[in-house]
Protein backbone atom coordinates (compact mmCIF):
# COMPACT_ATOMS: atom_id res chain seq x y z
CA UNK A 1 0.00 0.00 0.00
CA UNK A 2 2.80 2.42 0.96
CA UNK A 3 4.53 1.65 -2.34
CA UNK A 4 1.33 2.44 -4.30
CA UNK A 5 1.01 5.80 -2.51
CA UNK A 6 4.64 6.61 -3.32
CA UNK A 7 4.12 5.83 -7.02
CA UNK A 8 0.87 7.84 -6.98
CA UNK A 9 2.69 10.87 -5.54
CA UNK A 10 5.38 10.57 -8.21
CA UNK A 11 2.76 10.47 -11.00
CA UNK A 12 0.91 13.47 -9.52
CA UNK A 13 4.19 15.41 -9.25
CA UNK A 14 4.99 14.62 -12.90
CA UNK A 15 1.52 15.73 -14.02
CA UNK A 16 1.96 19.03 -12.18
CA UNK A 17 4.98 19.85 -14.35
CA UNK A 18 4.79 21.62 -17.72
CA UNK A 19 6.76 21.20 -20.92
CA UNK A 20 8.39 24.26 -22.49
CA UNK A 21 9.42 24.52 -26.13
CA UNK A 22 12.89 26.06 -26.39
CA UNK A 23 13.93 28.38 -29.23
CA UNK A 24 17.28 29.73 -30.45
CA UNK A 25 17.83 33.53 -30.51
CA UNK A 26 17.03 35.84 -33.45
CA UNK A 27 20.50 35.36 -34.97
CA UNK A 28 19.52 31.72 -35.54
CA UNK A 29 15.99 32.57 -36.71
CA UNK A 30 14.38 31.44 -33.43
CA UNK A 31 14.79 27.82 -34.54
CA UNK A 32 13.11 25.25 -32.27
CA UNK A 33 15.91 23.38 -30.45
CA UNK A 34 14.13 21.12 -27.97
CA UNK A 35 11.93 20.84 -24.89
CA UNK A 36 12.46 21.14 -21.17
CA UNK A 37 10.16 20.33 -18.24
CA UNK A 38 9.57 22.11 -14.94
CA UNK A 39 6.90 22.67 -12.30
CA UNK A 40 7.88 26.34 -12.09
CA UNK A 41 8.77 28.63 -15.03
CA UNK A 42 11.34 30.42 -12.85
CA UNK A 43 13.32 27.19 -12.62
CA UNK A 44 13.57 27.09 -16.43
CA UNK A 45 15.58 30.33 -16.48
CA UNK A 46 19.31 29.75 -16.78
CA UNK A 47 19.09 26.21 -18.12
CA UNK A 48 21.58 25.45 -20.88
CA UNK A 49 20.42 23.50 -23.94
CA UNK A 50 22.81 21.77 -26.31
CA UNK A 51 22.21 20.80 -29.92
CA UNK A 52 24.24 20.71 -33.14
CA UNK A 53 24.31 23.21 -35.97
CA UNK A 54 23.44 20.31 -38.29
CA UNK A 55 20.19 19.63 -36.43
CA UNK A 56 19.31 23.31 -36.38
CA UNK A 57 19.89 23.87 -40.09
CA UNK A 58 19.07 20.36 -41.35
CA UNK A 59 22.55 20.39 -42.89
CA UNK A 60 24.11 17.24 -41.50
CA UNK A 61 27.57 18.13 -42.77
CA UNK A 62 27.55 20.48 -39.74
CA UNK A 63 26.84 17.79 -37.13
CA UNK A 64 30.37 18.27 -35.78
CA UNK A 65 29.49 21.76 -34.47
CA UNK A 66 27.98 21.60 -30.98
CA UNK A 67 25.89 24.64 -30.01
CA UNK A 68 25.00 25.81 -26.49
CA UNK A 69 22.14 28.17 -25.60
CA UNK A 70 21.01 29.48 -22.19
CA UNK A 71 17.34 30.20 -21.47
CA UNK A 72 16.88 33.85 -20.54
CA UNK A 73 13.15 34.42 -21.10
CA UNK A 74 9.97 32.38 -20.62
CA UNK A 75 6.61 33.38 -22.12
CA UNK A 76 3.74 30.93 -21.71
CA UNK A 77 5.00 27.53 -22.78
CA UNK A 78 7.84 29.00 -24.86
CA UNK A 79 11.41 29.51 -23.62
CA UNK A 80 13.83 31.81 -25.44
CA UNK A 81 17.59 31.66 -25.29
CA UNK A 82 20.89 33.44 -25.77
CA UNK A 83 23.95 31.92 -27.41
CA UNK A 84 26.62 30.98 -24.85
CA UNK A 85 29.10 29.03 -26.95
CA UNK A 86 29.99 26.48 -29.58
CA UNK A 87 32.63 23.79 -30.00
CA UNK A 88 33.64 21.41 -32.77
CA UNK A 89 33.97 17.72 -31.92
CA UNK A 90 37.34 16.08 -31.25
CA UNK A 91 36.78 13.63 -34.09
CA UNK A 92 36.47 16.53 -36.53
CA UNK A 93 39.71 18.08 -35.27
CA UNK A 94 41.56 14.77 -35.36
CA UNK A 95 40.62 14.30 -39.02
CA UNK A 96 42.07 17.72 -39.93
CA UNK A 97 45.57 17.27 -38.51
CA UNK A 98 48.22 15.89 -40.88
CA UNK A 99 51.86 14.96 -40.36
CA UNK A 100 54.73 17.35 -41.11
CA UNK A 101 52.49 20.39 -40.80
CA UNK A 102 51.97 22.93 -38.02
CA UNK A 103 48.82 23.32 -35.99
CA UNK A 104 48.76 26.84 -34.57
CA UNK A 105 46.19 27.43 -31.81
CA UNK A 106 45.26 30.89 -30.55
CA UNK A 107 42.96 32.06 -27.77
CA UNK A 108 41.41 35.51 -28.24
CA UNK A 109 39.15 37.52 -25.93
CA UNK A 110 37.07 39.85 -28.10
CA UNK A 111 34.49 42.45 -27.04
CA UNK A 112 31.51 43.34 -29.24
CA UNK A 113 30.20 46.89 -29.56
CA UNK A 114 27.31 46.08 -27.19
CA UNK A 115 29.71 45.04 -24.45
CA UNK A 116 29.68 41.24 -24.68
CA UNK A 117 32.98 39.43 -24.20
CA UNK A 118 33.57 36.28 -26.21
CA UNK A 119 36.50 33.92 -25.65
CA UNK A 120 37.51 32.27 -28.93
CA UNK A 121 39.82 29.36 -29.72
CA UNK A 122 41.16 29.36 -33.27
CA UNK A 123 43.19 26.66 -34.98
CA UNK A 124 45.27 27.28 -38.08
CA UNK A 125 46.66 24.35 -40.08
CA UNK A 126 49.61 25.05 -42.36
CA UNK A 127 50.74 23.21 -45.49
CA UNK A 128 54.22 22.63 -44.02
CA UNK A 129 56.03 23.35 -40.77
CA UNK A 130 56.12 27.04 -39.88
CA UNK A 131 59.00 28.59 -37.91
CA UNK A 132 58.59 30.44 -34.61
CA UNK A 133 58.51 33.94 -36.10
CA UNK A 134 55.83 32.89 -38.59
CA UNK A 135 53.78 31.32 -35.80
CA UNK A 136 54.00 34.56 -33.78
CA UNK A 137 53.00 36.64 -36.83
CA UNK A 138 49.99 34.40 -37.51
CA UNK A 139 48.83 34.55 -33.88
CA UNK A 140 49.16 38.35 -33.85
CA UNK A 141 47.13 38.68 -37.06
CA UNK A 142 44.39 36.39 -35.70
CA UNK A 143 44.14 38.37 -32.46
CA UNK A 144 44.18 41.81 -34.09
CA UNK A 145 41.65 40.87 -36.77
CA UNK A 146 39.11 39.23 -34.44
CA UNK A 147 39.33 41.98 -31.82
CA UNK A 148 38.77 44.59 -34.54
CA UNK A 149 35.90 42.66 -36.17
CA UNK A 150 34.10 42.17 -32.84
CA UNK A 151 34.44 45.87 -31.95
CA UNK A 152 32.44 46.81 -35.07
CA UNK A 153 29.57 44.35 -34.51
CA UNK A 154 26.87 43.64 -31.97
CA UNK A 155 26.99 40.28 -30.21
CA UNK A 156 24.39 38.49 -32.35
CA UNK A 157 26.02 39.59 -35.62
CA UNK A 158 29.46 38.56 -34.39
CA UNK A 159 28.19 35.14 -33.28
CA UNK A 160 26.68 34.59 -36.71
CA UNK A 161 30.01 35.55 -38.32
CA UNK A 162 31.82 32.99 -36.14
CA UNK A 163 29.44 30.05 -36.49
CA UNK A 164 28.80 30.52 -40.23
CA UNK A 165 32.53 30.31 -40.94
CA UNK A 166 32.70 33.82 -42.43
CA UNK A 167 35.16 35.03 -39.75
CA UNK A 168 37.43 32.02 -40.36
CA UNK A 169 37.35 32.59 -44.13
CA UNK A 170 38.45 36.21 -43.67
CA UNK A 171 41.29 35.06 -41.40
CA UNK A 172 42.37 32.50 -44.00
CA UNK A 173 42.63 35.15 -46.74
CA UNK A 174 45.02 37.27 -44.64
CA UNK A 175 47.03 34.48 -43.00
CA UNK A 176 47.97 32.95 -46.36
CA UNK A 177 49.79 36.22 -47.15
CA UNK A 178 52.12 35.41 -44.23
CA UNK A 179 52.46 31.64 -44.74
CA UNK A 180 50.74 28.95 -46.83
CA UNK A 181 47.79 27.54 -44.86
CA UNK A 182 45.43 24.67 -45.50
CA UNK A 183 42.63 25.57 -43.14
CA UNK A 184 41.54 28.03 -40.43
CA UNK A 185 38.72 27.23 -38.02
CA UNK A 186 37.23 28.92 -34.97
CA UNK A 187 36.86 25.68 -33.03
CA UNK A 188 35.38 27.02 -29.80
CA UNK A 189 33.62 30.10 -28.43
CA UNK A 190 32.32 30.97 -25.00
CA UNK A 191 30.35 33.97 -23.78
CA UNK A 192 32.11 35.67 -20.86
CA UNK A 193 30.76 38.39 -18.58
CA UNK A 194 29.53 41.64 -20.15
CA UNK A 195 32.12 44.41 -20.40
CA UNK A 196 31.48 47.82 -18.85
CA UNK A 197 30.77 50.24 -21.68
CA UNK A 198 31.86 53.86 -21.45
CA UNK A 199 28.92 56.14 -22.29
CA UNK A 200 29.45 58.24 -25.43
CA UNK A 201 28.77 61.90 -24.83
CA UNK A 202 27.72 64.31 -27.53
Q: Using CA atoms, how far apart are residues 51 and 123, in angstroms rounded to an integer?
A: 22
Taking the chain (202 residues) in runs of 10, the rounded mean pLDDT of each run is 48 71 95 94 93 94 95 95 95 81 93 96 94 96 98 96 96 96 96 53 29
- State whether CATH 3.30.479.30 applies to domain 90-194: yes
pLDDT score at 190: 96
- Report strand pairing: 116-126 vs 48-52: unpaired
Q: What is the pLDDT of residue 6?
A: 47
Per-residue exposure over 93-129, b if at least 16 CB sit within 10 Å of its own CB, e if not: beeeeeeebbebebebebbbeeebbbebbbbbbbeee
**Could you tell me the CA-to-CA distances from 181 to 102, 104, 111, 156, 177 in Å, in that order?**
9, 10, 27, 29, 9
| This model's pTM is above 0.85 | no
Predicted local confidence at residue 15, as pLDDT: 61
CATH 3.30.479.30 domain position(s) in the chain? 90-194
Amino acid sequence: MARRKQIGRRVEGWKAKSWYKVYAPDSFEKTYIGDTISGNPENVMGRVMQTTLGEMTQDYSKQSIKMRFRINNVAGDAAYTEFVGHEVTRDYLRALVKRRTSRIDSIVLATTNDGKKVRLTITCLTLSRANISQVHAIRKLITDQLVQTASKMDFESFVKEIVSGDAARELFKNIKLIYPVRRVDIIKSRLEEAAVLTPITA
